[in-house]
């Protein structure tokens, strides 16, 4: 899956051929991967794989691994490969490592803000189409845990499901007999009454969506021991610590993927 995606990324940029490739054909070159902004490195394996798809003899000397913090102007790695492969794969490789490092860096900032609490930071399905596996890898490198990868690994009943089913209880009754016994049922609720209904109906996880702090604290006090609580909505650097202080198990946010600014990397021939 990863290799296929990387091939498609290259195909998107190179197309049938690279018009500038003759400049480097038949030559061997080295290039430095330089971090031009402080960042949590993420995607160095993918970076290497991209060049190996273009040159099976490509070699990379790494000075950092995924999850390490790189200071501005430091060299992350040195690539040794066919010069044409370096020139053709440069932009694709830089785009990917810059995007993933940006996500990992922002995620680490969020994780550090709640480090004193037991609450776990989760990502969401708010990912770029075709990039989910990479972006969720990046949040993991940043210190978050992955929420469901898709519609197939957790039965999450949201507001539209509830409207279609008629109620939280009806939705649970329709879905529970149809899923593997190993799968969890998570219910998104808007208020305390819905929270109580979800717990009574047999939810494994209850997502408190856009709850005020006082109502989150009420839910924490009223929950059953075997029911996990997750909060989401309006999660940012200013609110996350107060949310974690309520004692919830999880905080989920798409902010760490859709608001992440790319880290700045360059690839320079030496």
C-alpha pair distances (Å), 83 with each of 32, 50, 88: 13, 14, 9
Residue with tokens 């109502």: 215
Query: CB within 8 A of 52, min separation 6: which ones?
Result: 58
DSSP state at residue 262: P
In whole angstroms, give the CA distance from residue 254 to residue 261. 13
In whole angstroms, give the CA distance from residue 66 to residue 144. 14
DSSP state at residue 252: E
Q: Is 126 a catalytic residue?
A: yes
Handedness of CA 63, 66, 71, 73 (dihedral sign): positive
Tell me which of 30, 32, 52, 126 is the catalytic residue.
126
Contact 96, 43 (CB under 8 A): yes
CA 21 to chain centre: 34
In whole angstroms, give the CA distance from residue 249 to residue 147. 13
First to last CA, the chain: 33
Task: Say how many residues make up the chain.
Answer: 270
Give me the active site residues, please: 126
């Amino acid at each position: 899956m990863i290799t296929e995606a990387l091939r498609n990324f290259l195909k998107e940029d190179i197309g049938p051929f690279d018009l500038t490739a003759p400049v480097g054909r038949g030559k061997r070159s080295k290039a430095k991967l330089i971090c031009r902004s402080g960042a949590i490195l993420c995607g160095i394996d993918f970076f290497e794989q991209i060049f190996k798809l273009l040159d099976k003899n490509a070699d990379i000397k790494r000075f950092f691994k995924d999850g390490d913090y790189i200071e501005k102007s430091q060299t992350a790695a040195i690539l040794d490969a066919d010069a044409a492969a370096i020139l053709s794969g440069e932009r694709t490789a830089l785009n990917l490592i810059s995007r993933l490092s940006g996500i990992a860096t922002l995620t680490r900032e969020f994780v550090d803000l709640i480090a004193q609490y037991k609450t776990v930071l989760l990502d969401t399905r708010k990912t770029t189409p075709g990039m989910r596996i990479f972006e969720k890898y990046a949040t993991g490198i940043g210190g978050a845990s992955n929420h469901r990868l898709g519609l197939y690994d957790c039965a999450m009943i949201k507001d539209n499901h509830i409207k279609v089913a008629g109620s939280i209880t009806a939705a649970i009754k329709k879905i529970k007999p149809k899923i593997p016994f190993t799968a969890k049922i998570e219910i998104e609720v808007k208020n305390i009454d819905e929270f109580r209904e979800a717990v009574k109906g047999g939810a494994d996880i209850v997502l408190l969506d856009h709850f005020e702090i006082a109502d989150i604290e009420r839910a924490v006090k009223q929950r059953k021991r075997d029911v996990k609580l997750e909060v989401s909505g309006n999660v940012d650097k200013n609110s996350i610590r107060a949310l974690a202080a309520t004692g919830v198990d999880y905080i989920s946010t798409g902010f760490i993927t859709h608001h992440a600014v790319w880290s700045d990397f360059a690839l320079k021939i030496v």
